[in-house]
Structure 1
Amino acid sequence: MVLGLLSAIGPFSIDMYLPALPQIAEGLGVTETDVQMTITLYFLAFGVSQFLWGPMADAYGRKLPLILGILIFAVGAVGCALAPTIGWLVAARFVQGIGGAAVGVVPRAIVRDRYTGLEATRLMAMVMLVISVSPMLAPLAGSLVLQFGGWRLVFVVLLLVAAMSLLVTLFALPETLARKDRVPVNLRSMASGCRRLLGSVGFMGLTMVGAFGFGSFFVFIASASFVYTETFGLSPTQFSLAFALNALGFFAASQAAAPLGFRFGMVRMMRIALWGFAAATVAMLVLTLAGTGTLPVLMACLFVGNAFLGLVMPVTFVMALEEHGDIAGLASSLGGTLQMVTGSVLVAATAPFFDGTALPMVATICFCAIAALVIGLGVLRRGIQLAPAAAE
């Protein structure tokens, strides 16, 4: 629960202000594409700075990077609340992303400190259980905040969330990396670790499966508030409820990942889930192109697709780190960096084509699903090396 609460800071900082995106564009007198940059730069900072936090977590333990990251996140929240221009807001979101990266990468390393295989999948699913509450509650909380104040109040609330997270880290989270197991930070060891990871077909393949899975989320996050409110005419509260329903499929499926992996084998389950994710998104694209992509159709396809994706994500996290427990922090940070940067690039590439309709969003999500399927099947076909518990 503690790891889930900490890991939820990053998603919460995105999901809570989604209902406010149209209001931000109007308040600062900018375009929708300009406002989407606050998401893109957050993801980019979140991804790149993981490369700093992971090695720091291997060298100084898990708690210190978490504390520093939360403090930086809080500074970014203050900057967002006071932002007079879109440039200021984008810069403050970048700072938030740097801090949020710490609570994104370190909890995964903590999971690897304690467990591997199916046990790690079970714990990662529990972490995702808490994280998954964020897309359901955060937009609703954001729309509620908007009724009491403007979009700046959302970032004041995020500042309070950071304060509570700091207290949880200080008083409820034990240190899981013993001093004897810590690896000093130096360029030679980082370069050696990166060469090892980049040369691992299993690590890179599974990481990129996760990258395109995350990428589909990022594109949806950056576009959904405008599509749902402008194309389909939903209010901020209605958008929050629709967003929550889409997240429910992922939430429910992620909790079934460990039991299904135990019964059918993680590799087999992942293969089936990748096919399901691709099939749901291809159907969504075909229906949209045919002019029958109504809001209920779109939501149904996203629900099914996200449910299959919920089976994929916790498994890729665990399997990617399975052979790299001695450099779990570096592996987690490199994997996170590749995933977040991929998501940022996809959002940036989609933004110029955004025309207020659902098609650019749907097409990009479908592309992500097909890419994840092709890469995933290729890695599984080559027979990646897994611990016996994970390969069953």
Structure 2
Amino acid sequence: MATLVLVIGINPATLHLFIPAMPAIQTAFAIETATVQWALSLALAATAPATLLWGPVSDAVGRRRTLMIASLLIAAGSLAAATASSFGALLIGRVVQACGAAAGPVLAASIVFDIHGDRRAGPALARILVGMIVATMTAPFVGGLLTDTVGWRSTFLVTLTLATLLFVLTWRVLPETHRPADRTSLRPAPLWSAWYRLLRHPVYLGHALMVACSMAIMYAFMAAAPHVMVHLMGRSASEFGIRLIGVGLGFLAGNLVAARWTTRVGSTPMILIGSTLSLAACGGLTIALMGGALTPWTIFGPAIVAAFACGLSMPNAEAVALSASPEASGTASSLTSGLVLLIAALTSQAVGWTLNESPRPLGIAMTIAAALALAAFVGGTIASAQQTQPDQQRERGNADQDTVEAIHQAAMPGQEAAEVLHVRRPLEGRRQQVAGDARHAHPEGRDSRHRE
């Protein structure tokens, strides 16, 4: 269990340890704010395709071997970033590190399903998800504290240590959970075909984009807030890390409320409440910043509310997206993760290009992402309604046709009715009931024909 907690927690650890160090890295290499953002956005962009590939690779070669390869990539990238003498070298290290860390959540879920099966995987996965939540909440504080006391390079030394520990535990403790008989080949054609079908499905695309744009709210905040706190407000990196814990707690609270109330309220109302609340929170932040109100609570208060709102809407939107293609839910899940990371990378870099001596780009970027999330949800809901309406019309048409067939059948002699039944498709339970009612409705006509 401890190994699986480390597997799923190493991905957020590599990200959130680094974010508080971004202002110090900018100062160390004498680069612009937009330039240092590449260390975040390029790593996220590299994580997106890596997330899509680690699952099929582990299906082909096994979980244990794949996890050892990923651990070596994290270690190599962390060492390269920690010893980088130029920002370009640091970028290469960050990309390699992120590609390896992308395997963590994918392999953790796969290993849990291998061990526990479908029925018991949920509770087991919920237990190890604690590792991801703890890493998300504590890593910014640790990263900020290390940056202020030891220096930004120490954050990469911590991830190097974690990757080395993960490699040793995988090698010495973790057994192979994916049987050789269940392994598959790495053929790209079926995978491309499945992705293409999903991207053409309007219900999936609308709700998957809603999830991605909601996560973009958080990445816009993480890309801009360190600059605002450290450079514009003169606060320390460790203070930023401590306050960022509140944002993580807000997201966790939203998830807990969604888990409790979705069965009572329904997925669509929860998504609507969450997306509307996040837009209101981000809009309020933008108005406050445009009015000159620049305090830590002005920034983090709306961010906590927005994170809570995203916790309400994102799990439900992802569930609706996966339900659009239940026979390929695994592929749909990995594609959604890829979309999330791709849009997060684009958002982070776009925010970096707009940062200046004003804090307003922080609020504007978050508000745009929240508006796009709400628009994607509305589009997905409309598409779902339009898709449901023809199905209902077809069902009503089939019911009318069944009634006519049943009445005709009741009015025919036995031999002729048998011939018709032979060429027509068999009636289902509802059709047989309607036909039976029609026969009872015309007993005289049937009896007179038999007497003749």
CA-to-aligned-CA distance 1:69-103 (integer Å, 9 cap, x gap): 22211110010111000000011111112111212
CA-to-aligned-CA distance 1:33-54 (integer Å, 9 cap, x gap): 2221111111111112223223
CA distance in 2, matches of 1:254, 1:171: 35
Residue 253 of structure 2 corresponds to which residue in structure 1? Answer: 252
Residue 105 of structure 1 corresponds to which residue in structure 2? Answer: 106
CA distance in 2, matches of 1:106, 1:204: 25
Aligned AA (2:156): F
Residue 154 of structure 2 corresponds to which residue in structure 1? Answer: 153
CA distance in 2, matches of 1:320, 1:163: 37
Cα pair distance change 1:163/1:47, threshold 3 Å? same
> Which runs of 5 or more structure 1 residues have no equivalent in the other structure?
387-392
1:380 aligns with 2:392: no
- Structure with greater Cα Rg: 2
Equivalent runs, 1:13-162 vs 2, <5 Å: 13-108=14-109, 128-162=129-163
3-state SS of 1:17 partner: helix
3-state SS of 1:281 partner: helix
Cα pair distance change 1:334/1:191, threshold 3 Å? same
CA distance in 2, matches of 1:251, 1:28: 36
Aligned-residue identity in percent? 28
CA distance in 1, matches of 2:75, 2:26: 23
Does the 8 A contact of 2:34 with 2:354 survive in 1? no
Cα pair distance change 1:110/1:160, threshold 3 Å? same
- Mean CA deviation greater in 50-59 or 154-163: 50-59
Shift of 1:182: 4.3
Report the aligned-residue RMSD.
2.9
Cα pair distance change 1:232/1:250, threshold 3 Å? same
> Which runs of 5 or more structure 2 residues have no equivalent in the other structure?
389-452
Residue 402 of structure 2 corresponds to which residue in structure 1? Answer: none
Residue 235 of structure 2 corresponds to which residue in structure 1? Answer: 234
Cα pair distance change 1:3/1:279, threshold 3 Å? farther
CA distance in 1, matches of 2:276, 2:6: 31
Does the 8 A contact of 2:148 with 2:238 survive in 1? no
Residue 275 of structure 1 corresponds to which residue in structure 2? Answer: 276
Does the 8 A contact of 1:274 with 1:369 survive in 2? yes
Q: How many residues align?
A: 384
Shift of 1:304: 0.7
CA-to-aligned-CA distance 1:140-199 (integer Å, 9 cap, x gap): 212332355221111111111112333555567676655555442212212222222222
CA distance in 1, matches of 2:174, 2:251: 27
Does the 8 A contact of 2:198 with 2:332 survive in 1? yes
CA-to-aligned-CA distance 1:269-308 (integer Å, 9 cap, x gap): 2222111111111121122223235332221111111101
Cα pair distance change 1:340/1:65, threshold 3 Å? same
Shift of 1:354: 0.5
Residue 187 of structure 1 corresponds to which residue in structure 2? Answer: 188
Residue 390 of structure 1 corresponds to which residue in structure 2? Answer: none
3-state SS of 1:30 partner: coil
- Mean CA deviation greater in 172-181 or 328-337: 172-181
CA distance in 1, matches of 2:177, 2:272: 33
Does the 8 A contact of 2:273 with 2:313 survive in 1? no
1:9 aligns with 2:17: no
Does the 8 A contact of 2:144 with 2:237 survive in 1? yes
Does the 8 A contact of 2:203 with 2:324 survive in 1? no
CA distance in 2, matches of 1:331, 1:183: 18
CA distance in 2, matches of 1:124, 1:287: 40
1:305 aligns with 2:306: yes
